[in-house]
Amino acid sequence: MTNSPIDRMFDPPGPRGRRAIRLASIVVIALLAGLAWLVLYRFGKSGGLDRQAWSIFESPNVIKLLGRALYATVRAALLAGLLALVWGTALALMRLSRHRWLRTAAAAYVEVTRSLPTLLVLYFTILVLPFYGLRLPIYGQLVLALTITNASMISEVLRASMLSIPAGQLEASLSLGLTRPRAFWYIILPQGFRAAMPALVAQLVYLLKGTTLGYVISYEELLYSAKLIGEYTNFILQSILVVTAVYLVLNIILSRVSIWIEQRLSLRGAAASSKGK
């Protein structure tokens, strides 16, 4: 069970405290059950639980549509993630560069794009860029907008993790005769990536959530398809709830992977430091 730091700070409750907690638990469970029943009752009374409302998800066409939408969502998130990783790495390296103008330019770019809503960037790519003759397919527009905002977040993560690498690593590489770019490429960057791995996987959760913006450009991802199915069958609440559950499952898996990597890394770190002693 999730344990809270409060447990470590205070003594475990005595017999009287335990009795009070048991009583309170029963009351809370009763209240929660009542609340759940109220929601379901309300939902059921307006026909939300009818067989017919959910049978739309038995139709092979709906399932095929959702499958294609899932593929479109994952495809956009993965390509944007890959591009954002490349661009974000470049930005992070620029911010650690020795040339002041390069550092300043990258810092300004990151600070600006980090505080822009992806939706605004997306509107920019669909409304303004064509005006200057740059016409991308809608898939490309979504990926471009997601890349621009996520790259600056990834660059911040990578910069922090590279700064956390002990300075001795760079000094040692330089004194062994590596040039500065090579030292970064072979020594600092790989270690930085390893330390940043949990945060980078967590960024995928953010990207996956961001693909819902494809809705505004009619990119047929999950949420757009849910709205489509909902308008077609008049059961929009059901269809949105179903795709929300899909996002939930995908993202919880990603979050678990991120936590798992973090634990593995900290285990390895602990092993390394105990060996050093």
Instruction: Please report, as ranges, the residues that interact with another protein according to CB under 8 A.
Output: 1-2, 4-11, 13, 17, 21, 24-25, 28-29, 32, 42-43, 46-48, 111-112, 114-117, 119-120, 123-124, 127-128, 131, 205, 208-210, 212-213, 215-216, 223, 226-227, 230, 234-237, 240-241, 243-244, 247-248, 251-252, 255
- Asked whether 113 and 152 are in contact (CB, 8 A), the reply is yes
Whether the Cβ atoms of residue 195 and residue 161 lie closer than 8 Å to each other: yes
Q: Name which of 65 and 240 has its Cβ closer to another protein.
A: 240
How near is the Cβ of 54 to another protein at its closest, in Å?
A: 13
Q: Is 80 helix (H, G, I), strand (E, B) or coil?
A: helix
Instruction: Output 49 or 271, the one with its CB closest to another protein.
Output: 49
Taking the complex as a whole, the smallest distance from the CB of residue 170 to another protein amounts, in Å, to 28
Residue 17 C-beta: closest distance to another protein, Å: 8
Question: The dihedral of CA 10, 12, 15, 20: what is its sign?
Answer: positive
Residue closer to another protein (CB basis): 244 or 266: 244
Find tokens 């390394």 and name the residue.
272
Residues near 144 by Cβ (< 8 Å), separated by ≥ 6?
Answer: 125, 136
Beta carbon nearer to another protein, 8 or 277: 8
Which residue stretches of 96-188 are H helix? 100-114, 118-123, 138-163, 167-175, 180-183
